[in-house]
Chains A and B, each alone.
Chain A
C-alpha cells in the first residue's frame, strides 16, 4: 500500500497523528510538501513593471532557497513525529496541481481539513476542496482541530 501524507503548515501535526494511528505498518509512506510558486514569485518580484527604482535584491539566500530549506526542515520534523521511515518529497508549483500529480499511483492520500471549523459545511478550504474533488486515490480527511459534536450542527429544515 502506498500512502501520501500532505504536509501543510499549520495542520501537519494532526495529519501525522492520524497517519500514525490509521496507516498500516507495512505501507510505504511519502510525506509531501508543496511550496506555492505564485507566492514565491510575488515575494521575489513584488512590483514588476512599476516605474520605480530597480534595486537589485539584497545579497543573501534567495526566496527559492529559503523556501526549499524550510520545506525540508518541516518534512524532517514531520518524519520524526511520524516515527517510521518515510520518503520526503518537496515540490514547487501550483499547490492543487502538484498534490494531485504526486498522488498518482498511490492508494491513499491523508490531508487535513483546512476550512472554517465553526462555519460548516465549509470545512474544506479552496485548495483542499480541489484536491479532494480530483484525487485519483482514496482520501483520508482528518480534523485539524477537535471536531465539534452533532449538537453544534445547524440542521437544515428537512433533517430536523
Chain B
C-alpha cells in the first residue's frame, strides 16, 4: 500500500512537471503529494525531515547560484561574451563555433547549464546573425553543451550538486576527476558538430566589423565570479563550505546592482526549489519501499571500468525515461556506496544522456507528441541524429576517461 502510494505520488509529480497544467503547477502537486505520503505513513516524519535536511543545503546552494547567474546577466556579462565571441571569430564561422564552444563550456561549467540555456543561447543566436553566419551550428552547440559541458564542477548542474553533497569529495577533487571526462566529451561534440554542420561553416563572404559595438567589460561581475570560483577551490582547505562562497558572490552582485525585491526573488526560482524539496521527500518514500532495491539490482557496483560503464549507461537510460532530476534523486543513494567513482559515472549518464531527446526525456517527448505542443518547428530528426552520434560515444569515452582519472589523479 505504502509502496503504491509513493509511486503514485512520484508519477503524479513528474506528470505535473512534464504536462505543466495551468490549474496544477508542478510544485503544488509535488508538495501536496509529499504531504499525503507523509500523512499516510508511507514515510515517517523523521524520514521526511532527514530527506529535507539532506537536500536543504543543496537547494540553498542552487538558489545562490541562480542569483549569481542572474546578477551576471544584469551586469551585461553575456553581452560582453557575445562581443568576445564576435571578435574572436574574425569573420570565420568555424572560428565562431570554436569561440561558442569555449564560452558555452565555460559558462555551463561556472554558472551552470541554466545560464547557458536561458541567458547565453539568445546572445549566441544574435551574435551569429550579426556576423552574417548561419546561426544553426552555434545554436545546436549551445543546446548540446549545456548538458555535455556540465560535467566539470559541482556547480555546473543541479544533478552534480545533489551527487556532490553525497560524495564526500572536495570541490577541487571533484573537478580533478571530472576534467578529463569533460574534455573528452567536448572533443566528441566538436568532431560531430563541426562535421554535421560543415555546410553552414563554410564561407566566402566578408565579415561584418564588430569593433564599433564593443560593449564595456563588466569588470566587477567578472571579478566576483572569479573570486567565487577561487573560494570554491580553497573551500575544503579553509574549512568553509562552497555554498558560503556562492552566497557571498550572489550577495556582492545584489548589493552592487540593487535589483527590485520581486526580481531578486524570481531569480532564485522559489517554486522550482520547493519542487526539488518535495520531489526529494517523495523519492525518499519510494526508495524506502522498494524502488531503491529495484534500482540497486539494475546498477552494477564497484569502480572497475565495466561497472562504471554500466552505471553510466543505466543512468543515461533512466534520465531519458523520467528526466535527469528524478533519475539523480533515485540513483544517488544507490551509487553513493561506490563513491566517488560510481557517483561520477552516474553523473556522466544523467548529464549527457538528455542530449538524446530535444525535450529532455522520452516521457516529455511522448507527452508533447500527444498534445501537439508548439515545438513542431524544431527539427526533431536532426536533434535525434546528433544525439545518436554524440551520446553513446561520450558515455563510453568520458567514462573511460573517468576510470583513468580515478587510477592516476
Q: Using a CB–CB distance below 8 Å, which chain A residues touch chain B?
A: 8-14, 36-58, 60, 62-63, 66-67, 70, 74, 114-117, 125-127, 144-145
Q: Is the interface of A mostly helix, strand, loop or mixed?
A: loop
B262-311: which have CB < 8 Å to A?
A: 266-267, 269, 271-272, 275
Q: Mark B354-377, 1 if CB is under 8 A from A, else 0.
A: 100011110011011000010101
How far, in Å, is A81 (CB) from chain B's closest CB?
A: 10
A46-B143, A51-B360, A63-B125 in contact; A39/B205 too (CB < 8 A)? no
Hey, which chain B residues are within 8 Å of A127, CB to CB?
199
Hey, which chain A residues are within 8 Å of B382, CB to CB?
38
Q: Using a CB–CB distance below 8 Å, which chain B residues touch chain A?
A: 17-18, 66, 70, 73, 78, 93, 113-114, 117-119, 121-122, 124-126, 129-130, 132-136, 139-140, 142-143, 146, 158, 198-200, 202-206, 266-267, 269, 271-272, 275, 323-326, 354, 358-361, 364-365, 367-368, 373, 375, 377-379, 382
Say whether B117 contacts A9, CB under 8 Å.
no
User: Which 5 residue pairs spanning A and B have beta carbons closest together?
Assistant: A125-B199, A49-B364, A10-B203, A49-B359, A70-B129
Q: How many residue pairs between the two chains, A and B, have CB atoms under 8 Å in the bound complex?
A: 157
Say whether B354 contacts A46, CB under 8 Å.
no
Residue B143 contacts which of A8, A10, A37, A47 (CB distance < 8 angstroms)? A47
Closest to A93 in B: B377
Residue B133 contacts which of A9, A63, A115, A145 (CB distance < 8 angstroms)? A9
How far, in Å, is A40 (CB) from chain B's closest CB?
A: 8
A13 CA to B204 CA, complexed, in Å: 8
A49 CA to B360 CA, complexed, in Å: 6
Q: List 9 A-B contacts (CB under 8 A).
A: A14-B204, A14-B205, A38-B379, A41-B377, A43-B124, A43-B142, A51-B326, A58-B119, A126-B199
A43-B135, A49-B364, A50-B354 in contact; A10/B202 too (CB < 8 A)? yes
Hey, which chain B residues are within 8 Å of A67, CB to CB?
125, 129, 135
A66 CA to B139 CA, complexed, in Å: 14
Say whether A47 contacts B377, CB under 8 Å.
no
Say whether A36 contacts B136, CB under 8 Å.
yes
Q: Which of A51, A62, A66, A114 has the most CB of B within 10 A?
A: A51
Q: Is the interface of B mostly helix, strand, loop or mixed?
A: helix
Hey, which chain A residues are within 8 Å of B113, CB to CB?
47, 52
Residue A47 contacts which of B134, B200, B360 (CB distance < 8 angstroms)? B360
A17 CA to B133 CA, complexed, in Å: 19
Q: Which of A43, A44, A49 has the most CB of B within 10 A?
A: A49
Residue B204 contacts which of A11, A43, A46 (CB distance < 8 angstroms)? A11
A13-B204, A51-B323 in contact; A39/B139 too (CB < 8 A)? yes
Closest to B63 in A: A53
A36-B136, A39-B139 in contact; A9/B114 too (CB < 8 A)? no
A10 CA to B96 CA, complexed, in Å: 13
Closest to A112 in B: B204
Closest to A48 in B: B359
A42 CA to B271 CA, complexed, in Å: 25
A9-B132, A13-B205, A39-B135 in contact; A46/B146 too (CB < 8 A)? yes
How far, in Å, is B25 (CB) from chain A's closest CB?
A: 10
Hey, which chain B residues are within 8 Å of A58, CB to CB?
73, 78, 118-119, 122
Closest to B18 in A: A49
